[in-house]
Amino acid sequence: MATITSLKGNHIWPRIAMHRRTSFVGKPAALVFGKRPIQAPVKLHLDVSTVVSLNVDHQDEVVRPKTNFAPCMWGDTFSYCTILLDNQVIEENIEEIKTLKEEVWHMIMSSEKDIIEKMSLIDTLERLGISYHFEEEIEDQLSNMFDLNVIHEEDDLYNVALYFRLFRQHGYPISSDHFNQFKDNNGKFKEALLTDAKGLLSLYEAAYVRKHGDDILDEALIFAKSHLERITPILESTLEKQVTHALMQPLHKGLPRIEAHFNISIYEECGSRNDKLLRFAKLDYNLLQLLHKKELSELTLWWKDLKLVSELPYIRDRIVECFLCAIGVYFEPQYSQARIMLTKCIVMLSVLDDTYDSYGTLDELLLFTKAVERWDLREIDRLPSYMKTIYSTLLNLFKDYDIEVKELNTFNGVCYVKEAMKEIVRSYYIEAKWFIKGNVPLFEEYLNNALITGAFYLLVPASLLGMRSTSKASFDWILNKPKILLASAIVGRVVDDIASYKVEKERGQLVTGIECYMKEHNLSIEEVNEKLFKLVENAWKALNKELIKPTSMSAEVQMRIVNFTRIPDVVYKNNQDGYSDPKYNLKPLVESLLVHPIHM
């Protein structure tokens, strides 16, 4: 049986054939976007965004919505993990990765490389998805180069933008004033830059790490984007693919594993590629895919054993898509158990969301809300039959969490996640009352509640449960809803609202962020969307600011929040709800990440 272990032992791969057991409420935080503060007490991918019609349940004569969600499209694809490579081949690949990893380590630490070579190497490692093997080494190199103020000596647009983006993404307080050198005497970006496609692309990507006050990067984004769109058709093939992809999915907003798959294919086309780096990236990608497939196989069997899909036909059957989101939060091998635990929380939350949004009566939902608040299995007798299954499954899941975390011998934050679950259920009930009674709240009241139902206040602490490095300080920090978490929640909520508005309106849903804003301010849908897009943009700026050192929390924990923030940009691409109907946005991603290995 093959055990996958990294060279330095930082990242221990679980045995591919291993069988696992299956078994916060904080004070409000205020964050200012523009001039108006928004008090924290935005839905992730859990909104109903499909046509729903009324249907009479003849057993109890209760009028319930009849959902028409697309069924699970994966069948038994992931029910049983079939590893096509035998153990000997896997062991050989592991050994080759160890050898290649040592060679790349020497490349990073080499004193013979100049600054641009080192920065380009770091950028390549991150784009190819293998930088997690060298986190400490990369951090040391960036720290040394930042202290040397290497960007001050650069006058090439591509290099300046690359340095700036890498420093910002790693939390260094680099100034955007370095881009002033690319403006003319009239304060406009120089026309000479228009012929520098690679420089414009680098500038475009750098603009997405801007914070409030980086006005020059607001201008840079408009400048670079408009000219890249104009010149894309005349670019050479590989660069054209890069630009087209970046315009659709900026690097800073993309999920690392998805971006790695794309960038490996691009790097293979580059004449200046390092073949050892390319092979390292491919081997590592495919080996990680085997681990992810094994995890998904375990989750699929757990999900089927629960029989919730057959007992609750109104829910969305999305265990695969939930796991994809968990990979988006952390793909690295050391987070294997955390991914499984987080996926179970996401899919459980999806069941609750569909119950409150699409099926339960107000009386039933009140009973369920009170039962969750009491968190006692004896409450189950008060619930209608279909809710008993949900309630027992929820409580059993948290019992399993408690056992698993104790076995990890790390801080047990299950009680924090339990309180966050109670909080989101209370807010689901508030939303249900608005919808069923036809009450349209003011936008601020709506958003204060929607920040909770957006799920990030629950899912972020849930993502820490299986992390061996977690601590009480981490959970306490999240409990207080720091600014970075509030910014993330706003992105998730508002992006969801914009994407799901049309379908929700078709089914008569009046309590959406867009409807609340339109009614309160007497604006058109186009005007409201413009306001909400601006809110999302400002939230990203606020998030970027919170990543700049010194910070009050470790980069490892903060990166979970950053990756959660990236998920809506991928799931709701082109204003389509990829969770409720995965065939457009998520199906090709699942296939590339979990079905098809990269050709060697």
Span 541-600, pLDDT tens digits: 999 999 999 999 999 999 999 999 999 999 999 888 888 888 889 999 999 999 999 998
Quote the tokens at residue 219: 């201008």
User: Is 503:50 a contact under the CB 8 Å cutoff?
Assistant: yes
Q: Mean pLDDT lowest for which of 29-38, 73-82, 190-199?
A: 29-38
Quote the tokens at residue 541: 């700026």
Give me the mean pLDDT over the 284-307 stretch: 96
- What gap in Å lies between CA 542 and CA 236, rounded to an integer? 36
Specify the pTM. Answer: 0.90
> What is the CA 359 to chain-centroid distance, rounded?
28
Measured CA angle at 264 (ends 263, 267), to 5 deg: 80
**Residue 578 pLDDT:** 84
Give me the mean pLDDT over the 522-546 stretch: 97
- Overall size of the chain counted in residues: 600
CA distances from 524 to 51, 154, 520, 575, 591 (A): 23, 47, 11, 18, 39
**Is residue 51 over pLDDT 50?**
no
- What gap in Å lies between CA 151 and CA 378, rounded to an integer? 64
pLDDT bucket at 81, cuts 50 / 70 / 90: low
**Residue 153 pLDDT:** 85
Higher pLDDT, 258 or 511: 258
Identify the three-state secondary structure at position 56. strand
The phi, psi pair for 64, rounded to 5°, reads -125, 155
- What gap in Å lies between CA 407 and CA 545, rounded to an integer? 37
Give me the mean pLDDT over the 387-396 stretch: 98
- What gap in Å lies between CA 524 and CA 565, rounded to an integer? 27
**Is residue 63 over pLDDT 80?**
no
- What gap in Å lies between CA 431 and CA 512, rounded to an integer? 9
